Amino acid sequence: MALSEADLVAATIGREGPRRTKVIRPVAFSFRDLWAGLLGLSAYSDLLVVLSAHRLKVRYKQSMLGIAWAVIQPLALMIIYTLVFSVFTRIKTPGVPYPVFAYAALLPWTFFSTSLTNATNGLVSHAQLVTKVYFPREILPISYIVAALVDLLIASIVMTGLMVYYHVGLTPQVLWLVPVTLVMAAFTTSCSLIFSAMQVRVRDIGMAMPLVLQLWMFASPVVYPLRQVPERLRDYYLLNPMVGIIENFRAALLGNPLDVHSLTISIVVSVVLLPLSYLYFKRVEATVADVI
């Protein structure tokens, strides 16, 4: 008699090896559970990779320009801002031509705003999945951030082109890009976790996001340099962690001295905010399927 499907299945499955015991308890995600949450996340690292790749693939499927869109957005903004702030009105950017100056800040800013826009809807747009399967939910918003990081790399190619064209040379300062990008990723992740969790209950968050990002950009030194901010407002201005991130990203890229003061603020805020936002997210996660 031929083997049936059932026999085959029974024969191919091994029942060896240790088993992990999992205990599900009511929501009480505290600092002690932080580690458990991270362990759970690492067990799903493959999902993060697949899902991030998926974001990129989907975005460029059935689009003619494809991956070029990663470049078009910051490039178009750079051209507009160059027209406005360098041709119509003059903003002084000592030592660097305005296009290079603007593009160097639009790289991190585009990363931040794209991540946040997509990640905020990350949970809600996957309601179907969230109510059916378990996986660490933070993977949804984080996958958008990883995808945006890849976009950032692609858009950086144009940066090199611009620097060659305007004869702006790279200095060893450029190595600072790594820590600055890390701080930026940490801060973006914190914001994404908070907003995507809030969006589950209050959909106004997603509605307000474009406006908030617009204001936020002008509250950050993207189209103008930090030193043009009036001295008396500087202290309040620096409370925005994106100030330190953008200013120093540009400084590292263009070989200017870092602004240590603002960078320190960004680092402190990010380091404190990241675990807090993760805890908040995990707390919401436990009952997200009931609310979404």
Where on the chain is the footprint of another protein (CB under 8 A)?
4-10, 13, 15, 19-27, 43-44, 46-47, 49-51, 54, 57-58, 61-62, 128-135, 286-290
Q: Which is nearer to another protein, 44 or 85 (CB)?
A: 44
Q: Which two tokens stand for residue 74?
A: 């910051």
DSSP line for 58-84: HHHTT-SSGGGHHHHHHHHHHHHHHII
Choice between 15 and 90, CB closer to another protein: 15
CA dihedral 99, 222, 238, 93 (to 10 degrees): 20
CA-derived radius of gyration, the chain: 22
Q: In the complex, what is the shortest distance from the CB of residue 20 to another protein, in angstroms, rounded to a whole number?
A: 7
Question: At residue 156, what is the residue type?
Answer: S
Kindly write down the DSSP assignment for every residue of 144-156, as one continuous string. HHHHHHHHHHHHH
Specify the residue, 27 or 157, whose C-beta has the smaller distance to another protein: 27
Cβ proximity of 223 and 91 under 8 Å: yes
Give me the least distance between CB of 149 and another protein, in Å please: 19
In angstroms, give the least distance from the CB of 94 to another protein: 48
Closer CB to another protein, 58 or 271, in the complex? 58
Q: Which is nearer to another protein, 22 or 90 (CB)?
A: 22
Indicate the residue type of 124. Answer: V
> From CA 225, how far away is CA 172, in angstroms rounded?
22
- Measured CA to CA, the distance from residue 200 to residue 228 in angstroms comes to 39
Please state the closest distance from residue 71 (CB atom) to another protein, in A: 22
Q: Smallest distance, Å, CB 47 to another protein? A: 4
